[in-house]
Structure 1
Amino acid sequence: MTTYNNLKLNLQEGILTITISRVAKLNALNIETVEEIQTAMQEAYDNDEVKGIIFTGEGDKAFAAGADIGEISQLNEVIGRRFAERGQDIFAMIEESTKPVIAAVNGFALGGGCELAMACHIRVASHNARFGQPEVNLGLIPGYGGTQRLTQLVGKGKAMELMMTGDMITADDALRLGLANHVTTPGMLMEKCLEIMRKITSKAPLAVGMIVDCVNAWYDKEEHGYQTEANSFSRCCGSDDFVEGINAFFQKRKPQFKGN
């Protein structure tokens, strides 16, 4: 079993729980953590004992509160494209998993954290969960598939509003919009996820996997959308507005965007 710096893995009764463990950083998804998620998913695929996977965040404040801003601030147009395409590929592993994947959203799911939750097949949120794609505040766009998956889940108009404003929404709003499947108390979050997972894993594994394949096949015609997202993320990384957004974040002031 691989040793992880930022994840904790626990396999019980065929259900693998992957916990993002960067509490001091609100479980922010730095590059190392995203790479570790890929490794953990590959191990889950290869392990016949694993029947289903649950993602959650350590602590009670955050599932995953976005990307690591320190790393993001170092991106340029070339590196930004690689950054987006790499994240898209890893999150696609989750979405395309023929073993069921549930997100137990126990707090903030922002930016890359929201994108991770959306890549999972089912999202269960605690009452204190908050969802959002706030990248526009840094002069960026979602780069790990968020422009595509949020639109698929909540519809074009609402997805555009959420991404253009960068607003956060509550768990109840996420449930109403279709972003969350269930909302429960923090104390019952994992139990609800386990209840759903046990029900799914009691069904025929081949049929469950084929349901994933068939549902995802509908979106194949949208594959160009992910490339457009990577291209646009790259362009944003080379913009003056991105530099201004990052500087404003670290200087704790309102950014003055110019549109270039």
Structure 2
Amino acid sequence: MISPSPSLDLEIRKDILLISLNRPEKRNAFNDDLLLSIEKVFDATPKNIKCIIIKGEGKHFSAGLDLSELSQRDVVQGLEHSRMWHRILEKIQFASAPVVACLHGAVVGGGLEVAAACHIRIAEKSTFYALPEGQRGIFVGGGASVRLPKLIGTARMTDMMLTGRIYSAEEGERIGLSQYLVEDGSGMEKGLEIAEKICGNAQLTNYALTHVLPRIEDASHQTGLLMESMMAAIAQDSSEAKQRLQDFLEGRAKKLGE
């Protein structure tokens, strides 16, 4: 798979796609070129890919928006730019395969918004999180106001923006910014371990978790329950599910903890 930009490195390992943000001299800050390049990759992800990993080169995952390239925009242009972020991060959240973020160093502003769009976040101990937009007289525009409250609650996000509070990797795992905390330098090892587990799942189950579950969360109580019932019926009727159940009943499947 050919990278659409020198700011993005791509590697395929069997059925896992590795995406590396490659602007270490800018702390992997996002400009439009990098963001649009990510969109191109997600639009052209090979069909055999079962899991995607996003990581950052250098000392940081991403320090957010590249303010050195921030141009003056009127209200309409600002709205369109924010909606571009929304469009692209939706493609991460609802990608053709689950997305794992391997985090280290700064996960700030737009970098945190990208991480929040991923399905699993692994943080090395060097990781720290912040939303400095509140201290710079601006507001988040890449989906943080929708995704982050679901992870950490509205009160914590409000605190981050009102006070400039920075969360450490340990605090981030405790409040839900990451699901895993690992030693510095071992994020990719853990990411590949998790990606291999994801690749071993039934594809329909992975689809249900990444495409249907978020929509159940956004639905009303009764609509959510109906969507769950429909997805459960569809999943259990698949040939793969039937074979996996048969393997379990006949002792061919691994038991929990093995």
Deviation at 1:175, TM superposition (A): 0.2
Query: Cα distance 1:185–1:139, how it changes in 2: closer, same or farther (>3 A)?
Result: same
Gaps of 5+ in 1: 223-260
Aligned equivalent of 2:47: 48
Spell out, residue by residue over 1:72-131, the C-alpha distance to the aligned partner (whole angstroms, 9 max, x if none): 342332211011000011001111124110000021010100000000001000000011
Aligned equivalent of 2:106: 108
In the superposition, the TM-score normalised over structure 2's length comes to: 0.81
Percent identity reads: 33
Query: Cα distance 1:156–1:10, how it changes in 2: closer, same or farther (>3 A)?
Result: same
Could you tell me which amino acid in structure 2 is paired with residue 22 of structure 1? R
Counterpart CA distance in 2 for 1:51 and 1:153 is 24
Tell me the C-alpha RMSD between the 2 structures: 1.5
Question: Which residue, 195, 210, 213 being the options, matches 2:211?
Answer: 213
Question: Which residue, 62, 65, 86 being the options, matches 1:64?
Answer: 62
Q: Which is bigger in relative contact order (C-alpha 8 A, separation at least 6)?
A: 1
Question: Which residue, 184, 187, 208 being the options, matches 2:185?
Answer: 187
Deviation at 1:219, TM superposition (A): 4.5
Deviation at 1:168, TM superposition (A): 1.6
Aligned equivalent of 1:74: 72
User: For residues 126-145 of structure 1, what are the structure 2 equivalents within 5 Å?
Assistant: 126-145=124-143
In the superposition, the TM-score normalised over structure 1's length comes to: 0.81
Could you tell me which amino acid in structure 1 is paired with residue 93 of structure 2? E
Counterpart CA distance in 1 for 2:137 and 2:98 is 35
Aligned equivalent of 1:22: 23
Spell out, residue by residue over 1:215-240, the C-alpha distance to the aligned partner (whole angstroms, 9 max, x if none): 21034459xxxxxxxxxxxxxxxxxx
Counterpart CA distance in 1 for 2:7 and 2:129 is 22
Deviation at 1:159, TM superposition (A): 1.6
Aligned equivalent of 2:33: 32
- Please tell me whether the aligned partners of residues 135 and 162 of structure 2 are also in contact (alpha carbons under 8 angstroms): no
Deviation at 1:35, TM superposition (A): 0.3
Query: What SS is found at the alignment partner of 2:181?
Result: strand
Query: What SS is found at the alignment partner of 1:173?
Result: helix
Spell out, residue by residue over 1:13-56, the C-alpha distance to the aligned partner (whole angstroms, 9 max, x if none): 21111000001100000011000010011121xx1221110001
User: For residues 89-128 of structure 1, what are the structure 2 equivalents within 5 Å?
Assistant: 89-128=87-126
Structure number with larger C-alpha Rg: 2
Counterpart CA distance in 1 for 2:111 and 2:74 is 22
Query: Cα distance 1:89–1:219, how it changes in 2: closer, same or farther (>3 A)?
Result: farther
- Please tell me whether the aligned partners of residues 3 and 10 of structure 2 are also in contact (alpha carbons under 8 angstroms): no
Aligned equivalent of 2:196: 198
Query: What SS is found at the alignment partner of 2:44?
Result: helix
- Count of aligned pairs: 219
Gaps of 5+ in 2: 221-258
